[in-house]
Amino acid sequence: MAGNELPHSIELERSFLGGLLTWPELRDELGIVVSPEDLYNDTHRALYRALLEIPGRPDIESVLAYLGNQGDGLLEKAGGEPYIRELPRFGMGPYTTEQHARQLRELGQRRRFIIALGKAVGQMHKGDVDGALMQARRAIGDVETVRTESLTSGSWADLDGLMHGLQWAWPGYWPKGFLTLLGGQQAAGKSMLALWLCRSFLTGEPWPDGASYQGEPGEILWLEAESSQGLNWMRAVAWGLPRERIRTVFDDPLAGFFLDDPNHRKRLTALAWRHEIRAVILDSLSGAHRRSEKDHEMLELMTFLADLARDTGKPILASHHPRKRTIIDVGEELTLEMFRGSNTITQPSRMVLGIDMPDPGRPGVRRLRVLKTNLGVSGPDLGFTIDDAGLHFCVAPQPAKKETQTDKAKELLLTLLDCGPVAVTEIEQEMKGAGISWRTAVRAKDELNIIARRIQNRWVWALPHKE
């Protein structure tokens, strides 16, 4: 847009019209928000007028037929058939189309305001002060009227019939209608766990904790973003998964998925709505975009996934890497703060699951646990191991307890007093030599219920059963 042009955006107008042609059910709602005059381009304005006039939910064929039957070159004025057929590829989803509608409305208001003020300035130059002031007040009043009186709003009652109560795919771990994030360092087993969980959707087998799978088995939609098609295929073969039920976004199963590509999002949206699709898995979030994970644009992508889960009622799982190190570190607990782009990534996710290996004494045993839930329900920690046959679930490993000074003092006291009472002066020397304060020693004494007695003019300590 040149510096002296009125505010407008041809890109926004194309995306808005492409969205209406792809999701015609939005037409009636957004027709209240955007008027033809809000569009700057004459071609777009002519096409939008036709969209508003066609009864029902107009698709491309009905739009082209309507424009062709009107005569007076209306089809050409609306851009012609090739251009109209090209528009849907600019659509970016129902939510974004609604956002673009509001932006176009604002641009239209700004243009009308600037034009009205220009007329007021012209009248001022002619010496018509009263006329200029009246024109300016009218311009301001028109903007305020549009911003207030013409606003519409909904209510929560409008959600009746659209929303449903909390439903679970895997109770306590993976909800339907919400975005779930699965985090873990590289080599933690995120992809393998995600694929293993697909067994329940594909075959109806119970979940890893023994909970029954509810509903009919179906298909899952796998979004591959790490070029691991071959590796995952080998796992599916080894585990006996029905590979014909693992769907890809594109006809070419080797094609990668990019969340920041509008055409990829559009195709994902269409496939996720299919009845036979039981769940959507994105592996991984980090590989599916080319944006900064601390950028507000990343929040837009996460919100898209959360909205898609909400609108379709499907469980969506996205794997993600923490920002620290690259290989899983045995003995360290994974926390929510470790996630790359922490707030931007985790904010729209109503469940966040983490994989770590917290017990150095069980280095081959991983732990799956809920790091965040906004749903008031979470399942207990689960342990699992991985071999060529798949995943095997067991008791979850826990981090080794860190020894405190009081723990050291207790251990020393139990050793010193094992053979009987010991003089306090001797105990004090032993504690000092071990770098333990006397206050800590007294605290350990109290916790062990050690008895203090005076024998032959000296104080001694003794264990209750050694007194």
Assign 256 a pLDDT band (cuts: 50, 70, 90). very high
Task: Report pLDDT digits (tens) over 105-125.
Answer: 888 888 888 887 887 788 778
Q: Are strands 219-224 and 277-283 parallel, antiparallel or unpaired?
A: parallel
Task: Report pLDDT digits (tens) over 395-431.
Answer: 999 887 778 899 999 999 999 998 889 999 999 999 9
Q: Which position has the token pair 């071990």?
A: 434
Distance CA 101, CA 107 (A): 10
Distance CA 365, CA 328 (A): 12
Domains and CATH numbers, the chain: 10-152 (1.10.860.10), 169-394 (3.40.50.300), 405-466 (1.10.10.10)
Give me the pLDDT at residue 360, please. Answer: 87
Distance CA 224, CA 222 (A): 6
Length of the chain: 467
Q: Torsion angle of alpha carbons 24, 161, 92, 322, nearest 10°? A: -170
Are 110 and 283 in contact by the 8 Å Cβ rule? The answer is no
Q: pTM value? A: 0.60
**284 preceded by a cis bond (ω within 30 of 0):** yes
Distance CA 114, CA 142 (A): 12
Please say if the pLDDT value at position 203 is more than 80.
yes
Assign 149 a pLDDT band (cuts: 50, 70, 90). very low
Q: What average pLDDT does the segment 210-217 reach?
A: 96
**Six-digit token pair at 67?**
């424009």
Distance CA 409, CA 67 (A): 89
Distance CA 223, CA 194 (A): 12
% of the chain residues with pLDDT over 70? 91
Mean of all residue pLDDT scores within the chain: 87
**Six-digit token pair at 23?**
């999701």
